Amino acid sequence: MTPSSPVSALTIAGSDSGGGAGIQADLKAFAAHRVHGLSAIAALTAQNTRGVSAVHVPPLAFLQAQIDACFADFDIHAVKLGMLANAEVIGLVADALEKYRPTHVVLDPVMVATSGARLLEDSALHAMRTRLLPLATLLTPNIPEAELLLGRPITRADEAEDAAAALLDLGAGAVLLKGGHLHEGARVVDRYFDGVTRDEFIHARLPVDAHGTGCTLASAITAQLCQGLSLPNACEAAIDYVARGLQGGYYPGRSEVLVIDHFGAARPA
């Protein structure tokens, strides 16, 4: 029997030493969707469920070598971008995307950790707007990240709808504005807009403090795109995946911070 070749997805992001977010969460989500996961580590964090205590950015030449090695050997269907800590890293990644031209680029603009720690240098914000957003098939910011990108507060549902359109105007192909930080009662509303299709994906708000949800959502969308789903359908399927993972989540550390159960999330109810 000849083994089959699974599709491949590449994550260019930061490593989470606690295993709940970043590269580690991305690879778990890829595997749960039966997608071969590749990684290029753009930053290393000393991190656990309580927060981020240190960040180290490896030399640019080493990041370049990782990206080149992946594209030289694998048929990469989609790329997921996570924590890119400074303008130099963003510029290198943008140059690589312009060189290799992957079919899909899912940009999770990791700027603020769930714990509140700032993960993106101020000098990188302009580079994020001008270099990466125009290359993104899909942008997946949370509310604080959207506020940083747009330079204005988002506190109401109508402001969130306007923000999705404004983010699209910055150059991304589509936007999924995550609603977990917006208070809309007992529900969470994630808003999708691509200039033509506008949709809302609604789930019940769970009374938990979770870690790695943004990384997992973006990587699950990336995996669904690898499997051939359209952008809106990939977003919906990935949001359902995260919701299932939260319902079966667990507490690996000493704090009351939940981590997603990827294996349980891979089995729809």
The answer to whether 43 and 72 are in contact (CB under 8 A) is no
* pLDDT of 210: 84
Residue 85 DSSP class: -
Per-residue pLDDT of the chain (269 residues; tens, 9 = 90+): 456 678 999 999 999 999 999 999 999 999 999 999 999 999 999 999 888 889 899 999 999 999 999 999 999 999 999 999 899 999 999 999 999 999 999 999 987 655 555 556 677 888 999 999 999 999 999 999 999 899 999 999 889 889 999 999 999 999 999 987 778 778 888 999 999 999 999 888 877 878 889 999 999 999 999 999 999 999 999 999 999 998 888 889 999 888 998 988 876 54
Residue 268, pLDDT score = 59
Tell how strand 187-193 and strand 198-204 pair up: antiparallel
- pLDDT attached to residue 96: 98
CA-CA distance, 8 to 25, in Å (whole number)? 16
Check residue 113 and give its pLDDT: 55
CA angle 183, 186, 187 (to 5 degrees): 75
What local confidence, expressed as pLDDT, does residue 1 receive? 42
For the question of whether the overall pTM of this predicted structure is more than 0.85, the answer is yes
Q: Are 64 and 12 in contact (CB under 8 A)?
A: no
